[in-house]
């Protein structure tokens, strides 16, 4: 306090009481409003999270298929046509089994999420557009006139 | 007899939150324990009540999603203040970008709106102090508010703002000097 009086004598004379106010019952109602918002967001995002949980399995299946195909290609140079055919059949069987182990519903959900993500990624937000135009040399005044 | 919110320690509240059956209750208790402190901390930075309300909600949503991973390296109180400060500063930056205004203009706009704000009840000197505060860089304003209004120790502030005590002392000193100058000139 003495330090404040020394470096800010005028400031130290100002009433320190909080000059701001809140609407009536704001704090009483806050937790209810917050719970409602959390509940709403939970419902919105829950299915998406559920689908995302399958992603590691899908990625693992994809890597397995690629590895098998790569192995086939490499070994294909050293095998007879007949052996190659039987190897192809083996791979097809493994791939088929991998795909059957993933439910159709999951595949559809993942495709849906991917398409939503792609479309949301490709959307240019107004802020990005403004940043781009300003980087291109447009002044704030020109932008405001164009709005 | 029922327990009051303040009867639970932060550690107990975190423990309750981590149990599925008491998760919602614990979160509600955390909100009720800290909502006012965090509200006033944010309000002094954003000035406007409805901006503060949005930011406070965002703060607690981050708490809801992040509390499971909270490692308790710092206290819950420190962690909450850190989230609230970051949310408030991000809000200000987004507002500046949204309105295409250079840095100083949002503060000028807030300063002008203070006088007509139905939720501002300060006298002329308090109004002048708020206007002076709006001329400071954001982080200096945070330091000043925590020290001057909340009377927080530099060590606690250092944890929240992840800055050294020396830097905070210097920042507060400069803030007081600038405010003093503003008060004398206006």
Would you list the DSSP string of B83-129?
HHHHHHHHHHHHHHHHTT--HHHHHHHHHHHHTT-TTB---HHHHHH
Choose the closest CB to A14 out of B44, B119, B125.
Answer: B125
Choose the closest CB to B32 out of A18, A31, A126.
Answer: A31
Total beta-carbon pairs less than 8 A apart between chain A and chain B: 92
SS3 content of chain B, % helix, strand, coil (to 5): 80, 0, 20
The answer to whether the CB atoms of B97 and A127 lie below 8 A apart is: yes
Q: Mind telling me how many Å the CA of A9 is from chain B's nearest CA? A: 8
Q: What is the rounded average pLDDT for all residues in chain B?
A: 90
**Angle between helix A81-101 and helix A55-76 axes, rounded to 10 deg:** 180
Is residue B43 predicted with pLDDT exceeding 80? yes
What is the rounded average pLDDT of the residues A3-15? Answer: 86
The answer to whether the CB atoms of A4 and B176 lie below 8 A apart is: yes
Contact status, residue B99 vs residue A140, Cβ threshold 8 Å: no
Q: What is the rounded average pLDDT for all residues in chain A?
A: 70
Q: With bands split at pLDDT 50, 70 and 90, how would you rate the model's confidence at B114? A: confident
Q: If 0-12 CB within 10 Å is exposed, 13-18 middle and 19+ buried, where does residue B122 land? A: buried
Q: Single out the residue of B74, B54, B84, B85 nearest to residue B14, CA to CA.
A: B74
Q: Mind telling me how many Å the CA of B79 is from chain A's nearest CA? A: 19
What is the rounded average pLDDT of the residues B135-150? Answer: 94
Q: If 0-12 CB within 10 Å is exposed, 13-18 middle and 19+ buried, where does residue B163 land? A: middle
Residues A110 and A123: their CA atoms lie apart, in Å, by 20
Q: If 0-12 CB within 10 Å is exposed, 13-18 middle and 19+ buried, where does residue A139 land? A: exposed
Select the highest-mean-pLDDT range: A85-89, B21-25, B79-83. Answer: B79-83
Is residue B110 predicted with pLDDT exceeding 90? no
The pLDDT, as a whole number, for residue B54 is 96
Q: With bands split at pLDDT 50, 70 and 90, how would you rate the model's confidence at A131? A: low
Contact status, residue B49 vs residue A23, Cβ threshold 8 Å: yes
Q: Mind telling me how many Å the CA of A32 is from chain B's nearest CA? A: 9
The pLDDT, as a whole number, for residue B9 is 93
The answer to whether the CB atoms of A140 and B100 lie below 8 A apart is: yes
Half-sphere exposure of B145 (CA within 13 A, CB side): 25
Q: Single out the residue of A93, A102, A88 nearest to residue A60, CA to CA.
A: A102
Q: With bands split at pLDDT 50, 70 and 90, how would you rate the model's confidence at A84? A: low
> What is the model's pTM?
0.67
Is residue B93 predicted with pLDDT exceeding 60? yes
Residues A138 and A136: their CA atoms lie apart, in Å, by 6
The answer to whether the CB atoms of A33 and B57 lie below 8 A apart is: yes
Q: Taking CA B50 as the corner, what is the angle to CA A127 and CA A14, rounded to the nearest 5 degrees?
A: 115
Is residue A63 predicted with pLDDT exceeding 80? yes
What is the rounded average pLDDT of the residues B62-79? Answer: 92
Q: Mind telling me how many Å the CA of B32 is from chain A's nearest CA? A: 7
Residues B176 and B116: their CA atoms lie apart, in Å, by 26
The pLDDT, as a whole number, for residue A118 is 44
From the candidates B60, B98, B151, which should be mutated to test the interface with A, based on the most A CB atoms within 10 A? B60
């Amino acid at each position: 306090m003495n330090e404040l009086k020394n470096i800010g004598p005028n400031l130290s004379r100002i009433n320190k009481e909080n000059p701001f106010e809140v609407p009536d019952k704001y704090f009483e109602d806050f937790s209810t409003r917050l719970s409602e918002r959390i509940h709403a967001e939970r419902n919105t995002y829950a299915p998406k999270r559920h689908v995302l949980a399958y992603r590691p399995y899908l990625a693992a299946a994809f890597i397995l298929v690629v590895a098998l195909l790569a192995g086939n290609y490499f070994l294909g140079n050293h095998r007879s046509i007949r052996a190659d055919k039987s190897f192809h059949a083996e791979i097809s069987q493994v791939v088929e089994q991998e795909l059957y182990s993933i439910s159709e519903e999951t595949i559809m959900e993942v495709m849906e999420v991917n398409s939503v993500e792609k479309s949301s990624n490709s959307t240019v937000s107004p802020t990005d557009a403004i940043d781009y135009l300003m980087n291109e040399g447009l002044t704030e005044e020109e932008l405001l006139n164009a709005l | 007899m029922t327990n009051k919110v303040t009867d639970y320690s932060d550690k107990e509240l975190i423990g309750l939150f981590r149990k599925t059956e008491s998760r919602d209750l614990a979160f509600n208790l955390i909100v009720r324990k800290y909502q006012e402190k965090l509200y006033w901390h944010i309000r002094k930075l954003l000035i406007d009540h409805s901006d503060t309300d949005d930011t406070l909600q965002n703060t607690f949503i981050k708490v809801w999603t992040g509390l499971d991973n909270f490692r308790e390296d710092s206290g819950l109180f420190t962690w909450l203040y850190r989230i609230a400060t970051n949310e408030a500063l991000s809000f200000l930056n987004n507002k500046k970008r949204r309105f295409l205004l250079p840095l100083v203009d949002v503060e000028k706009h807030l300063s002008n709106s203070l006088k007509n704000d139905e939720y501002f009840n300060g006298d002329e000197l308090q109004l002048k102090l708020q206007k002076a505060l709006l001329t400071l860089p954001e982080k200096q304003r945070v330091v000043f508010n925590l020290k001057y209004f909340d009377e927080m120790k530099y060590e606690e502030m250092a944890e929240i703002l992840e800055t050294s005590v020396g830097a905070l002392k210097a920042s507060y000193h400069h803030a007081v000097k600038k405010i003093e100058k503003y008060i004398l000139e206006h």
